[in-house]
Structure 1
Amino acid sequence: MRQRLILHLLLLLLCLPRLSMAQVQPDTTKVSNKRLLVLGSAFGVGYTSLLISLNKAWYSEEERTDFHWFDDNKQWKQVDKAGHFWGAFHQSRAGIDMLRWAGMPEKKAIFYGGLTGILLQTPIEIFDGYQADYGASVGDVVANTVGSAGVVAQELAWQEVRIMPKYSFHTTRYADMRPNVLGSNLGEQALKDYNGQTYWLSVNVGAFLNEESKYPKWLNIAVGYGAQEMVYNDPEANAAAGLDAHRQFYLSPDLNLMHFKGRNKVWNTALYVLSIIKVPAPALEYNRKNGFKLHPLYF
């Protein structure tokens, strides 16, 4: 299955102009038809253009067949599925906040905006379903759905996001073993090398405590997931190459960037966007090959 992090980033970038407006306090007394028209038109034009570009860049020269499904659930130690969850979560998060900005009633904004991740990702799965070399992935669809549901559940339960999915990256030696797939430069590797990608759930501990608690509201605790020694998507191909693909689990402190929001719209938008990234910090790792390992600073 092709690399998808770049697609998630492109779709999030599509949201950025609207996110800067969404930092303005919404008028919850009535729906603004003008704002809804701006959102609908911008997304319609932007997303259609993106799909056309992707179709030309990724699919036009590949062999096509009848629509079919492809089981890739055992590939890449499911790090790619974590990426789907991360992307769909933040797309739906942005969708909810933009509908709030447009003045839509709270529950409608949550339910309709919460579908954003699924709606943005589903056409890509359909495109994949017609490709001879792979196909549409049930695992991807499930990960997208769970990601969107994750933000909806938190908004309904707590009226805010308290458990934030995040992404971090470090370079690895494995990209040099297969640069055409894992990337030949830093930018490509950040998007393609699953060995260097870590996906986190950053928990806003302070939000679960009472107001009198002295726990610092800016300090989150994050649990992370990644994997190593994956040059091929197929586990047997990795083993044949002498690689022992294995999972990695992490525990690390993190910054609750949304705690530092102020009155400046540009500042707040920057914090909103940066909150999808895990801040480098010390981390405790566990994996089955080496047991526990402390990283003084982990990216």
Structure 2
Amino acid sequence: MPRTFRILPFILLILLPFITKAGSIPMPPDTTVTEVNRSRLYLLSGGFAAGYSAMLISLNKAWYAEQERTDFHFFNDNSQWKQVDKVGHFWGAFHQSRAGIDLLRWAGVPDKKAILYGGLTGIILQTPIEIFDGYQADYGASVGDIIANTVGSAAVVAQELAWQEVRIMPKYSFHTTRFADVRPNVLGSTLSEQALKDYNGQTYWLSVNVGDFLKEENKYPKWLSIAVGYGAEEIVYNSSSGNRAAGFDAHRQFYLSPDLNLMHFKGNSKVWNTALYVLSIIKIPAPALEYNRKDGFKVHPLYF
């Protein structure tokens, strides 16, 4: 099981106090910031540095200290888990960088600098963990993870530079599966663990805000997005051979579903805007059309 997903709750705890501020930030071109708020910038950088340093030290002592260590090396896991873990890395890095950009805007950093520097947040958060992994005997630093993290951060930077907003939002959804009971130590024994570890129940989406690509006079509802999703099932073991040996037929799943553009509903309430900002990383349950090679096309009246 990829280590990054196990530490994701710690990263979210570090970002959460700042995300609550980022959620109510007016986005350009509504507001043009001309002066850096140094007190906010110092608060942001100091709080982030302290929180992230504490997390890395705690992980190194409490988790990595229990693992057998070797010289630094790389580990090729690109063929494992039908690449659902790599898509998850993309999703995580995207939203970490998205928060980093908006937090620098909150601190008054000029917009292009906020985009370029804040866009590095996902890479900055994830790279030290890959370095730690590189010294572990049971695995190693993953080039695939590093690439997925970089592409995730680059995706939000590209959209901000091109459109000054996010029009294609990566999202996550989850449902419980019977496969977690087969290997609860790997896929999770509780709901919270399964949400992080059971790739059979995870679906990752690209939600396209169609209305943002149309002219202002177009009557298409801007709150209605179209999402394409990717997942996999019967991946109980990380390798295809392991799944086959256990009688599982690991296969990919592709989805098409309507979605809500939650950021369209922003208002004057900071609490409301923050809630929308945080929830925008999750795909709202909705009807979905699925295709996979085992069953062909399937219709889900309500898909999580």
TM-score of the alignment, normalized to the shorter chain, above 0.5: yes
Aligned to 1:2: 2
Could you tell me whether the CA contact under 8 Å between 1:20 and 1:269 is conserved in 2? yes
Q: 2:158 aligns with which of 148, 153, 157?
A: 153
Aligned length: 299
Aligned to 2:262: 257
Q: 2:135 aligns with which of 124, 130, 138?
A: 130
Could you tell me whether the CA contact under 8 Å between 2:227 and 2:259 is conserved in 1? yes
User: Which AA in structure 1 matches 2:289?
Assistant: L
Aligned to 2:49: 44
Q: 1:81 aligns with which of 79, 86, 107?
A: 86
CA distance in 2, matches of 1:79, 1:288: 17
Could you tell me whether the CA contact under 8 Å between 2:74 and 2:134 is conserved in 1? yes
Aligned to 2:198: 193
Question: Are 2:96 and 1:91 equivalent residues in the alignment?
Answer: yes
CA distance in 2, matches of 1:260, 1:3: 35
CA distance in 1, matches of 2:158, 2:167: 11
User: Which AA in structure 1 matches 2:95?
Assistant: H
Q: 1:173 aligns with which of 170, 173, 178?
A: 178
Report SS of the residue matched to 1:136. Answer: coil
Could you tell me whether the CA contact under 8 Å between 2:175 and 2:201 is conserved in 1? yes
CA displacement at 1:74 relative to structure 2:
0.3
Aligned to 1:17: 17
Post-superposition Cα deviations, 1:116-168, rounded to whole Å, max 9, x if no partner, equal 00000000000000000000000000000000000000000000000000000
Report SS of the residue matched to 1:44. Answer: helix
CA displacement at 1:16 relative to structure 2:
2.0
CA distance in 2, matches of 1:3, 1:126: 12
Could you tell me whether the CA contact under 8 Å between 1:18 and 1:39 is conserved in 2? yes
Aligned to 1:53: 58
Aligned to 1:232: 237
Q: 2:122 aligns with which of 117, 125, 128?
A: 117
CA displacement at 1:186 relative to structure 2:
1.1
Aligned to 2:248: 243
Report SS of the residue matched to 1:10. Answer: helix
Aligned to 1:294: 299
CA displacement at 1:5 relative to structure 2:
2.8
CA distance in 1, matches of 2:115, 2:236: 40
Judging changes above 3 Å, is the alpha-carbon distance between structure 1 residues 90 and 24 closer, same or farther for their aligned structure 2 residues? closer
Post-superposition Cα deviations, 1:6-60, rounded to whole Å, max 9, x if no partner, equal 4334323322222222324477111111111001110011101111222233211
User: Which AA in structure 2 matches 1:283?
Assistant: A
**More displaced stretch, 3-12 vs 70-79:** 3-12
CA distance in 2, matches of 1:186, 1:249: 24
- TM-score of the two chains, using structure 2 as the length reference: 0.96
- TM-score of the two chains, using structure 1 as the length reference: 0.97
Q: 1:275 aligns with which of 280, 295, 298?
A: 280
Identity between Structure 1 and Structure 2 (%): 76
Post-superposition Cα deviations, 1:152-211, rounded to whole Å, max 9, x if no partner, equal 000000000000000000011110111110011111111110000000000000000111
Could you tell me whether the CA contact under 8 Å between 1:166 and 1:276 is conserved in 2? yes
Q: 1:104 aligns with which of 92, 109, 114?
A: 109
Report SS of the residue matched to 1:273. Answer: helix
1:183-222 matches, cutoff 5 A? 183-222=188-227
CA distance in 1, matches of 2:175, 2:115: 34
Structure 1 unpaired stretches of 5+: none
Could you tell me whether the CA contact under 8 Å between 2:227 and 2:256 is conserved in 1? yes
Structure 2 unpaired stretches of 5+: none
User: Which AA in structure 1 matches 2:18?
Assistant: R
User: Which AA in structure 2 matches 1:264?
Assistant: S
User: Which AA in structure 1 matches 2:164?
Assistant: Q
